[in-house]
Amino acid sequence: GIYHGSLLWALDKTVTAMGGRALRRWLLQPLLGVSGIQARQDTVEELVTNGSLRQQLQQLLKQIYDLERLAGRAGSGTANGRDLVAMADSFGKLPDLAALMGHATSPYLVKLQFVPPELDELGRVLRSHLVENPPLYLTEGSLIRDGVNAKLDKLRDQVSEDQQWIANLETTERERTGISNLKVGYTKAFGYYISISRSKSDQAPTDYTRKQTLTNEERYITSELKECEARLFNLNEEIHTLEYDIFIKLRDQVAEHVALIRQVAATVSAADVLAALAEVAVYQGYCRPEIVEGRPIFIEDGRHPVVEQSLPAGFFVPNDSGLGNIDPTKSAVTPDLIILTGPNASGKSCYLRQVGLIQLMAQVGSFVPAKSAMLGVCDRIFTRVGAVDDLATGQSTFMVEMNETANILNHATPKSLVLLDEIGRGTATFDGLSIAWAVAEYL
């Protein structure tokens, strides 16, 4: 789909489902405050410089289930036994995470040092109540461990007593009747029965009631067997209801902590995203951009994060960019506007987008594909990239382009980054040039 070849594709080294969703959210909602960006950068940096910490973190994260989704299910009352066990297992990993982060200093990792005691306790309750591998359905029993509920244990004891009696019935009846090939069987339709071969059916005792005749056997029941069967049936019903009630109480207990679980999920998924960004930074050779007030864009040897990954290593030719404020190193004034010209397929669009992507990545808190970078915080990134004409609704490429350009001119502020890829196409040379000129002067 669209995912391949996108910025998300280039950066997504997350190991949990909730981390993947968080990365997507972060890219859609970049930060506007320098301190927020730096807090994320500090964490990426710690995970870049401490490779074994990053790898151990990712190993642990892989063992944590999708707490965000699980919390939602528990809160809406749709969680089943497996969901709650997955949740308990995940809570069990939180102390390990906290221990791993014992010496961490960056904000997002320090948050992992604290394990909410309520969740620790909740995990213990769930593990002690629920069997290791609960069935999918909640109404068929086998959910709750022995020793959790005295009434449940008593009912289960009665069931095994009755089952034992039925298991011994064959032996006792053979001895009583002297019929050696007497068998006790069970079918869904009839329930339990005693079968005697046709040849010996005249030896059947008087307390046997004939129930079914087959080619070579007669099937009987006794009042005792019927009673035992009915009792078993009722006991099992009672057990299933009781187990279901216990389970619902557990699920309600989880539901009370949904807000806290979501909070933990957010902390864990943020760590996942930052570990992913650190991994990309290490393998692709990214640098930590310096984020400053004001509006400079200084990029030394910048690369396009997606195109670079689609090419063999070392094939992408890097480029510098200088926009905005005075460059302190060269004491030269850099322009506020670059007009980039060149033949087709010479890399103009790629260069343009690379600047936009580097700015966006920096405001997500990521490291960027460059040797060094100094960037301000911009409020919006506007792009206008060569349009496809929308003739179906009666719009030419020119019309589409003018609408988009008007939108940019009306909404850009002094803190915006504007990337215009081709302007004034589909017109006579002078008309196009005058439009481009006017737009450039206005900006």
How far is 285 from 336, CA to CA, in rounded Å? 28
Residue indicated by tokens 């040797």 = 371
Helix residue ranges, H only, 325-417: 348-364, 397-411
| Model confidence band, residue 314 (pLDDT cutoffs 50, 70, 90) | confident
Cα atoms in the 13 Å half-sphere on the side-chain side of 350: 17
| Model confidence band, residue 225 (pLDDT cutoffs 50, 70, 90) | very high
Whether 332 shows a pLDDT value over 80: the answer reads: no
Looking at 141-145, 368-372, 383-387, 423-427, which range is the least confident one? 383-387
Secondary structure letter of residue 141 according to DSSP: S
Whether 392 shows a pLDDT value over 80: the answer reads: no
pLDDT of amino acid 8: 95
| Model confidence band, residue 328 (pLDDT cutoffs 50, 70, 90) | low
Mean pLDDT of all residues in 338-347: 88
| Model confidence band, residue 390 (pLDDT cutoffs 50, 70, 90) | low
pLDDT of amino acid 401: 85
| Model confidence band, residue 150 (pLDDT cutoffs 50, 70, 90) | very high
Whether 343 shows a pLDDT value over 80: the answer reads: yes
Mean pLDDT, the chain, rounded, equals 92
How far is 38 from 362, CA to CA, in rounded Å? 10
Each residue of 272-285: pLDDT tens digit? 999 999 999 999 99
CA distances from residue 302 to 283, 319, 354, 372, 420 in whole angstroms, order as listed: 16, 5, 8, 8, 19
Q: Which residue has better confidence, 347 or 14?
A: 14
pLDDT of amino acid 243: 95
Q: Which residues contact 196 (CB under 8 A, 6 or more apart)?
A: 179, 181, 182, 203, 204, 217, 218, 220
- Can you give the pTM of this predicted structure? 0.86
Mean pLDDT of all residues in 299-313: 94
pLDDT of amino acid 397: 79
pLDDT of amino acid 425: 77
| Model confidence band, residue 344 (pLDDT cutoffs 50, 70, 90) | confident
Of the candidates 375, 293, 367, 369, the residue with the CA atom closest to the CA atom of residue 43: 367
Mean pLDDT of all residues in 355-364: 97
Looking at 92-101, 113-122, 172-181, which range is the least confident one? 172-181
Mean pLDDT of all residues in 316-322: 94
pLDDT of amino acid 384: 82
pLDDT of amino acid 394: 74
| Model confidence band, residue 293 (pLDDT cutoffs 50, 70, 90) | confident
Q: Which residue has better confidence, 387 or 69?
A: 69
Each residue of 393-431: pLDDT tens digit? 777 778 888 888 999 999 999 999 999 988 877 788 899
How far is 349 from 380, CA to CA, in rounded Å? 19
Whether 70 shows a pLDDT value over 60: the answer reads: yes
Whether 389 shows a pLDDT value over 80: the answer reads: no
Distance, C-alpha 155 to centroid of its chain: 41
